[in-house]
Chains A and B, each alone.
Chain A
Amino acid sequence: MTKFTEEDVKYFANFARIAISDEEATTFADIISDLVGFGDALKEVETDHIEPMTHPLQLFNVLREDVPQDILDREEMLASVEEHEAGMIKVPNIL
């Protein structure tokens, strides 16, 4: 079984933008190793000529005229935002 290491935890946590302590990395390494082993069961299934199933139903694009609808109120939306100013969401300086 593939071992999922503490370094692996930190590597993938970085992609997922989750800060991970050393202690958590140890815990997650163990439990994700189990999951990786669980997923290994799929290797024995013969799938050479099988198409992947992306969705349970056959779907088609749904198009409509480009006219605004279901318009939400800006003030109401900003009520959920911790930091905002002059109708805009504030983020730290990124430049």
Chain B
Amino acid sequence: MTLMKKSAAELQQLLHNREVSVKEVTEDSFKQIAKLDGKVQAFLAVTEKEALAKAESLDNEPMDKRGPLFGLPIGIKDNIITKGITTTCASKMLENFVPVYDATVMDKINQAGMVNVGKLNMDEFAMGSTTERSAFKTTHNPWNLNCVPGGSSGGSAAAVAAGEVPFALGTDTGGSVRQPAAFCGVVGMKPTYGRVSRYGLVAFASSLDQIGTITRTVEDNALLLNAISGVDHRDSSSASQQVPDFRAGLTGDIKGLRIAVPKEYLGEGIAEDVKESVLEALKVLESLGATWEEVTLPHSKYASPVYYAIATAEASSNLARFDGIRYGYHPEGAKNLEEIYLRSRAEGFGTEVKKRILYGTYALSADHHEDLYVKAMKVRTLIAQDFAALFEKYDVVIGPSSATTAYEIGGVVQNQLTLYANDVLTVSVNLAGVPAISVPCGLSNGLPVGLQIIGKHFDEALIYKVAHAYEQATDFHTHTPSVGEGNE
């Protein structure tokens, strides 16, 4: 039996009773990775030597100096900068890029005494929702190896679901933490924009990007978000709001909770099995004393076109830094500066990234700027106002995290408009900047369904409270896939 499927509290108990050491916990993670990752393919790099050396030194720390995450293994999405450890963004452009500093979240992970065991696969530069857009490998869903894990944080979600690590960091620009968490049957939180510092996160769309947390349980998720949240002088868009103790609010008491359920989130395009699971989940929440009403988010059908205009425009600007000179892919034998630029970007970026840069360049061009980019920003205002209006009357908004369960590998990756339309449930949350979580709420044909709980700005504490009450009233979080155990 692996330690990697235990909660933080259970692992701390074992550590405090000296039944296991930090080194043994870390070794167990590498044992699981060795056993399972040939099939799951979640990791781009494992950092065994560094991790075991760190674990040994952590074992010398006195018990009374240890926090709730001390000595626990974590995997990091490969767009988060790690000093001395290759950070590729799953792109040929950064295949050999070794950062010279740590992202702020890595400083915080280190302060918490966590052990980074490796870097996780993703869609190239986080552009995708299946992890099939990685330049290096395709990650497989631990529940069914023929299916995608979702994306773009597919490696993070798959590694936690498979039991390779109990914790992972992902990033969410348009659903990239919540949708893979849903596909893999784990808990994924996209915090409020600004809650977590983005310093050291390779930028995709700066007004939307946020680092998020992926774990097996809500309580573990709350602990991890507590560890990485807070204002940072190195990210001027990080928020100075107080960070409450998220775990302290996990009382199970949600009596009187007012839930809004947008009819657009249970309407056309949402699979029947997903709808049924969400309606069942609402019954569970009712039985705990909550009430729900059907409402409308009138501009939600525009969320995906708005998102793609804004995200690609910002990406075309952010990715201009990859010029083949200071770092990253450098073409052989280029004769002049122009050729270095043209060839490094042509040879270093994959098709999806090039497409988004081109569309974003178009959106920002003089002839289309007003009609597309500025127009999208205006509709973004309307989408944010829709949410603000709901939160005057309701505490949380609930719907599915994804329109369907996990797709088959190769099934929809070429059908961009289907993929983009399926983003409608998640992208509006990033446009409004509000926080949202995905928690497991069922299985359909052996594949997990995710329940999305959306809150007001900086109200992660309430989201966790609701998610935890739901989780404790059901047993979906206790189901785990049996990959590598002979019966997958």
Q: Which residues of A contact B (CB under 8 A)?
A: 4, 8-9, 12-13, 15-20, 24, 27-28, 31-32, 34-36, 38-39, 41-43, 45, 47, 50-57, 59, 61-62, 64, 70, 72-73, 76-77, 79-83, 89, 91-94
Q: Which of A38, A43, A54, A72 contacts B377 (CB 8 A)?
A: A54
Complexed CA–CA distance, A15 and B341 (Å): 11
Question: Which residue from chain B places its CB closest to the CB of A48 in the assembled complex?
Answer: B378
Question: Quick one: CB contact mask for B326-350 with A, threshold 8 Å, 1 for yes?
Answer: 1110100011111011110110010
Complexed CA–CA distance, A55 and B236 (Å): 13
> Which 7 pairs, one residue from A and one from B, show the smallest C-beta to C-beta distance?
A56-B433, A52-B377, A19-B346, A80-B327, A47-B378, A82-B330, A62-B236
Q: Is B1 an interface residue (CB 8 A)?
A: no
Stretch in B44-52, B300-308, B439-447, B466-474 with 4+ CB within 8 Å of A: B300-308
Q: Which of B337, B340, B345 contacts A16 (CB 8 A)?
A: B345
B97:A80 contact, CB within 8 angstroms: yes
Stretch in B111-119, B141-149, B359-367 with 4+ CB within 8 Å of A: B359-367
Question: Which residue from chain A places its CB closest to the CB of B199 in the assembled complex?
Answer: A70
B193:A92 contact, CB within 8 angstroms: no
Instruction: From A16, A55, A64, A92, name the one whose CB has the most chain B CB atoms within 10 angstroms.
Output: A16
Residues in A with CB closer than 8 Å to B207 are 54-56
A57:B194 contact, CB within 8 angstroms: yes
B237:A17 contact, CB within 8 angstroms: no
Residues in A with CB closer than 8 Å to B208 are 56
Known contacts A16-B357, A32-B358, A39-B309, A92 near B334 by CB under 8 Å: yes
B358:A38 contact, CB within 8 angstroms: no
Q: Which of B234, B305, B365 contacts A12 (CB 8 A)?
A: B365
Q: Which of B336, B342, B377, B431 contacts A18 (CB 8 A)?
A: B342
Q: Is B376 an interface residue (CB 8 A)?
A: yes
Other A-B contacts than A41-B305, A59-B236, A92-B334, 5 sampled, CB-CB below 8 A, are A19-B345, A31-B416, A36-B359, A80-B98, A80-B327
Residues in B with CB closer than 8 Å to A59 are 236-237
Q: Which of A34, A54, A91 contacts B416 (CB 8 A)?
A: A34
Complexed CA–CA distance, A69 and B454 (Å): 38
A15:B305 contact, CB within 8 angstroms: no
Q: Which of B239, B346, B374, B416 contacts A57 (CB 8 A)?
A: B239
Q: Which of A13, A15, A53, A81 contacts B365 (CB 8 A)?
A: A15
Q: How far is the CB of A77 from chain B (nearest CB, A)?
A: 5
Q: Which of A18, A36, A41 contacts B346 (CB 8 A)?
A: A18
Looking at chain A's contact residues, is the secondary structure mostly helix, strand, loop, or mixed?
loop
Question: Which residue from chain A places its CB closest to the CB of B101 in the assembled complex?
Answer: A72
Residues in A with CB closer than 8 Å to B342 are 17-19
Question: Which residue from chain B places its CB closest to the CB of A55 in the assembled complex?
Answer: B207
A16:B316 contact, CB within 8 angstroms: yes
Q: How far is the CB of B276 from chain A (nearest CB, A)?
A: 29
Complexed CA–CA distance, A36 and B417 (Å): 11
A39:B379 contact, CB within 8 angstroms: no
Residues in A with CB closer than 8 Å to B236 are 59, 61-62
Q: Which residues of B contact A (CB under 8 A)?
A: 97-98, 100-101, 193-194, 207-208, 233-234, 236-237, 239, 299, 301-302, 304-306, 308-309, 316, 320, 323, 325-328, 330, 334-338, 340-343, 345-346, 349, 351, 354-355, 357-359, 361-363, 365, 371-372, 374-382, 384, 416-417, 420, 431-433, 457
Q: List 7 A-B contacts (CB under 8 A).
A: A42-B376, A57-B193, A61-B236, A77-B100, A79-B98, A79-B100, A81-B325
Residues in A with CB closer than 8 Å to B304 are 38
Complexed CA–CA distance, A86 and B335 (Å): 22
B325:A50 contact, CB within 8 angstroms: no
Q: How far is the CB of B476 from chain A (nearest CB, A)?
A: 31
Residues in A with CB closer than 8 Å to B334 are 92
A42:B358 contact, CB within 8 angstroms: no
A15:B361 contact, CB within 8 angstroms: yes
Residues in A with CB closer than 8 Å to B101 are 70, 72
A53:B384 contact, CB within 8 angstroms: yes
Complexed CA–CA distance, A25 and B138 (Å): 26
Complexed CA–CA distance, A79 and B83 (Å): 13
Q: Which of A16, A19, A70, A79 contacts B361 (CB 8 A)?
A: A16
Q: Which of A18, A27, A83, A92 contacts B337 (CB 8 A)?
A: A92
Known contacts A39-B372, A45-B299, A57-B239, A18 near B378 by CB under 8 Å: no
Q: Which of A18, A45, A50 contacts B354 (CB 8 A)?
A: A18
Residues in B with CB closer than 8 Å to A94 are 336-337
Residues in A with CB closer than 8 Å to B299 are 45
A50:B382 contact, CB within 8 angstroms: yes
Complexed CA–CA distance, A94 and B325 (Å): 14
A18:B349 contact, CB within 8 angstroms: yes
Residues in B with CB closer than 8 Å to A82 are 325, 330
Known contacts A18-B346, A47-B378, A28 near B326 by CB under 8 Å: no
Complexed CA–CA distance, A19 and B194 (Å): 36
Instruction: From A4, A32, A35, A43, name the one whose CB has the most chain B CB atoms within 10 angstroms.
Output: A35
